[in-house]
A and B are shown apart, each in its own frame.
Chain A
């Protein structure tokens, strides 16, 4: 449980940072606020230094948390919701529906999630909603398969038979009786989904497919990369933030998967 607590504490810190970003670092994080290329701790006004244009790295870091967490949580949530609905329908109805839905799932699984996101973004253009869509497109398949497996075993249980004899309609049974019971194992996937989403979002912004009007850690690393030898801190600082975030989510996921209720 201790890894869960460490992870949760870290994540809470990040969420607070995201919520209070305008208080911690007021103003537009993209504003040119000082001399360019100040090193960390060189100036009191710019604790973590400034980038090539004189934008404050600390402000970028704090506001970047918002974009990262926003995109990561929404796309993970979207992936879980789509996945569990598809999985439930597929597992509960069986037959042709099951075959069709599972072939579609497999079709999505054969394409790497990152490529799918890249292709989607290059068609739709980058913005927060399209990023969420693009990332969840490649991320829902796992949840669908896990839910389906769980539903397949649950639908033969006595309480489902009982619900049938009570005269509940099939969809009511599927979504009110079976899905809540099948959701546990799927939820423990959430941590992996969030971590994947964070990394895909960072990679997309790194390649220049992020929203250019927002600060993201990925774009900060990408911009720092061109001056990697002259100012390594520009890439290292957001890189560390990325590691800490993914680590915290992973720690939570590990903690969750050990609790009995969520064992698949």
Chain B
């Protein structure tokens, strides 16, 4: 441990000299030119068994792996279509929606010295993204072949018309390219390189000590000249996750992403000198707090009951008390920040317990002699503190309108099995992720006919032919504006019929020492490659 933790005495010297520098304005100004070198110590998040982002496209994996393995393009605040190039330099879809052409970056080498070519992209797409990846299976469902006319061109061919808009929006998340020469002819899911990553990114995989740290080292042969700026990144696992705030203050770590610092501590932290709180940099991974509903329960199959539940929830309380202001009330399955797809004119359900009670009476569920109308089994997902707190709140809110909700708490595997495989729930609290396009991981929450066991999908026994039809036609609609129109109509339908209830949108908070520069400079910052991050001395 002590080998990689910063020695406190050294640190005091550094900060003392930094303090001295502040006194001379010119020198302090000179600090703002990027400096090379240094080690960034970050609070570790999870320790995924499979660290390969081409197979497991999840934020826990990306947090570490995105520095080593790169996608074709990354999200950006300024770039065209919200993208900036990475391994691809340009991308273009054909008018018939049957092909997409990528021009690939030249002069890129893998960390083991072999050149990066279109063959790697073709292999990753056909063998990994389409077959093995949780999200790629949906996006590249109709991918038939990848042509490689030369080493730096890859043409994706689809068997059915596939909207280019969707492919483009999905690029940052689903297109992590892995080396063909390492994986070909092996059992890809069990390849040791899934743990000791080989990529093209700005950092090479250094070392993994379970329970202690991940170490990433500078890739001197990175394609972007003069980057990366850091020598090393260390993901330090803290013995107590709640201790991230203390570790930042004690200067044991320099950065904690994904709200590792509890929201309740942010007020105090933001006042302490030398620390900065960033609420941006997570727009590309918006989490949604929703109430999932089991339509197999006869009471819940009645839309009036679902509307009553929606009227019983005080969004204001959720945002202000549970999320302490670090969230937004939501109106539907697409977050308001997404200007392409968001539909503002949907039905809304204001907090109104009296109306909720009236709706329940109308539906024929009168209060019994004990004051209750019926009982529900409530399963709050154990993913975040806030999901558990919202579960406790929801139980109270439903109690007020005469629905007796009994909380059942499970650990993560048991929760996923109970909800998405066994359907042993009445309502839940869940947190699906909106990933820049409704087709990536949002429509799956509404579409019927999915096999049981698929997590974060419609396992609610909900089937609506109109909604299914909208989802189906949007999946093959090539015109971007028309496609957005279909999703807007979907949002209206969903708001009227309430197959599930969207309550709030939240993302995360990064806290970093003010010496860490270029933090949160893109909408997926925590899971992007950090090649331009540097440490002021």
Interface positions of A (Cβ within 8 A of B):
28, 30-32, 36-37, 52-54, 122, 125-126, 208, 212-213, 225-231
**CB <8 Å contact, A227 and B265:** yes
CB distance from B367 to the nearest CB of A (A): 16
Chain A residues contacting B399 (CB-CB under 8 Å) are: 28, 31
Who on chain A is nearest to B385 by CB?
A226
Question: Which of B20-28, B298-306, B342-350, B403-411 touches A?
Answer: B403-411
Is B242 a contact of A226 with CB atoms below 8 Å?
yes
Q: How far, in Å, is B258 (CB) from chain A's closest CB?
A: 15
Alpha-carbon gap, A139 to B408, bound state (A): 26
8 new A-B pairs (CB below 8 Å) besides A212-B408, A212-B409, A230-B268? A52-B264, A52-B322, A52-B389, A126-B409, A208-B409, A208-B411, A229-B245, A231-B264
Please list 6 pairs of residues, one from A and one from B, whose beta carbons are closer than 8 Å in the complex, sorted by A's number.
Answer: A30-B392, A32-B317, A208-B409, A212-B391, A212-B392, A230-B264
Q: Is B267 an interface residue (CB 8 A)?
A: yes
The answer to whether B382 and A212 touch across the interface, beta carbons within 8 angstroms, is no
Q: Which residues of chain A are within 8 angstroms of B264 by Cβ–Cβ distance?
A: 37, 52, 226-227, 230-231
Docked pose: A226 CA to B265 CA in angstroms: 9
Judge whether B265 and A31 touch: CB under 8 Å: no
> How extensive is the interface on chain B, given as a class?
20 to 34
> What number of A-B contacts does a CB cutoff of 8 Å give?
57
CB distance from B250 to the nearest CB of A (A): 13
Interface string of B256-293 (1 = CB under 8 A from A): 00000010110110000000000000000000000000
- Distance in Å: Cβ of B205 to nearest Cβ of chain A: 33
Q: What residues on A are CB-neighbors of B391 within 8 Å?
A: 212
In the bound assembly, the distance between CA atoms of A31 and B393 in angstroms comes to 8
On whether the beta carbons of B392 and A230 are closer than 8 Å, the reply is no
B411 touches A122 (CB 8 A): yes
In the assembly, what is the distance between CA of A32 and CA of B392, in Å? 9
CA distance A225 to B407 in the complex (A): 21
Interface: B395 (CB within 8 A): yes
B396 within 8 A of A: yes
Which of B268, B321, B385 is within 8 Å of A229, CB to CB? B268
B321 and A54 form a contact (CB under 8 A) = yes
* A212/B322 contact (C-beta < 8 A), A229-B268, A230-B265 known: no
Bound form: Cα–Cα A125–B414 in Å: 10
**How far apart are the CA atoms of A239 and B385 in the complex, in Å?**
21
5 smallest A-B Cβ distances: which pairs?
A227-B264, A212-B407, A212-B409, A230-B264, A36-B321
Interface contact B393-A230, CB-CB below 8 Å: no
Closest to A208 in B: B409
Determine whether the beta carbon of B396 is less than 8 Å from that of A30.
Answer: yes
On chain B, the residues within 8 Å of A54 by CB distance are 321
Residues in chain A near residue B408, CB distance under 8 A? 125, 212
How many whole Å from B537's CB to the nearest CB in chain A?
30
Mask of B400-442 contacts with A, CB within 8 angstroms, 1/0: 0000001111110010000000000000000000000000000
Q: CA A213 – CA B395 in complex, angstroms?
A: 9
Within 8 A of A (CB), among B30-75: none
Most buried by A among B264, B268, B406: B264
State whether A32 and B265 are in contact (beta carbons under 8 Å apart), knowing that A54-B321, A212-B409, A229-B245 are contacts in the complex: no
Interface string of B299-337 (1 = CB under 8 A from A): 000000000000000000100011000000000000000
A122 to B395, CA, bound (A): 23
Residues of B contacting A212 in the complex (Cβ-Cβ under 8 angstroms): 391-392, 407-409
Contact call B407/A228, Cβ cutoff below 8 A: no
What distance in Å separates the Cβ of B414 from its nearest Cβ neighbour in chain A?
8
User: In whole Å, how far is A118's beta carbon from the nearest beta carbon of chain B?
Assistant: 11
Return B59 CB to nearest CB of chain A, in Å: 21
- In contact, B407 and A32 (Cβ under 8 angstroms): no
**Interface pair A53/B389, CB less than 8 Å apart:** yes
In the bound assembly, the distance between CA atoms of A53 and B406 in angstroms comes to 18
B317 partner residues in chain A, CB cutoff 8 A = 32
Asked whether A53 and B393 contact (CB < 8 A) given A227-B265, A231-B264, the answer is yes
* CA of A31 to CA of B399, assembled, Å: 9
What residues on B are CB-neighbors of A229 within 8 Å?
A: 245-246, 265, 268
> Which of chain B's residues have a CB closer than 8 A to the CB of A226?
242, 262, 264, 385
CB atoms of A213 and B406 under 8 A apart: yes
Contacts of B242 in A (CB 8 A): 225-226, 228
What CA separation (Å) do A54 and B262 show in the bound complex? 18
Min CB gap A178→B, angstroms: 45
Shortest B160–chain A CB gap in Å is 45
A240 to B406, CA, bound (A): 29
Q: Which residue of B lies closest to A54 (CB)?
A: B321
Smallest Cβ distance from A228 to chain B, in angstroms?
A: 7
Chain A: minimal CB distance from B263 (Å): 9
B382 touches A230 (CB 8 A): no
Chain B residues with Cβ under 8 A from A213's Cβ? 395, 406-407
> Is B396 a contact partner of A31 (Cβ separation < 8 A)?
yes
Are B392 and A208 within 8 A (Cβ)? Answer: no
In the bound assembly, the distance between CA atoms of A53 and B392 in angstroms comes to 9
Q: Closest B residue to A33 by CB, please name it.
A: B396
**For the complex, what is the distance from the CA of A226 to the CA of B389, rounded to whole Å?**
12
Among A53, A122, A225, contact of B322 (Cβ-Cβ < 8 Å): A53
A208 neighbours in B (Cβ, 8 Å): 382, 409, 411
Residues of A near B246 (CB, < 8 A) are 229
Give the Cβ gap from A215 to chain B, nearest Cβ, in Å: 11
A37 to B264, CA, bound (A): 10
Alpha-carbon separation in the docked complex, A125 to B396 (Å): 22
A212 to B411, CA, bound (A): 13
Neighbouring A residues of B395 by C-beta, 8 Å? 30, 213
Q: Which B residues are in CB contact (< 8 Å) with A30? A: 392, 395-396
Chain A residues whose C-beta falls within 8 Å of the C-beta of B265 in the assembled complex: 227, 229-230
Question: A122 to B415, alpha carbons, bound, how many Å?
Answer: 12
* A203 CA / B526 CA spacing, docked (Å): 34
Give every chain B residue within 8 A of A28 (Cβ-Cβ). Answer: 396, 399
Expressed in whole angstroms, the Cα–Cα distance for A53 and B397 within the complex equals 12
A127 to chain B, nearest CB (A): 10
A30 to B388 CA separation, bound complex (whole angstroms): 14
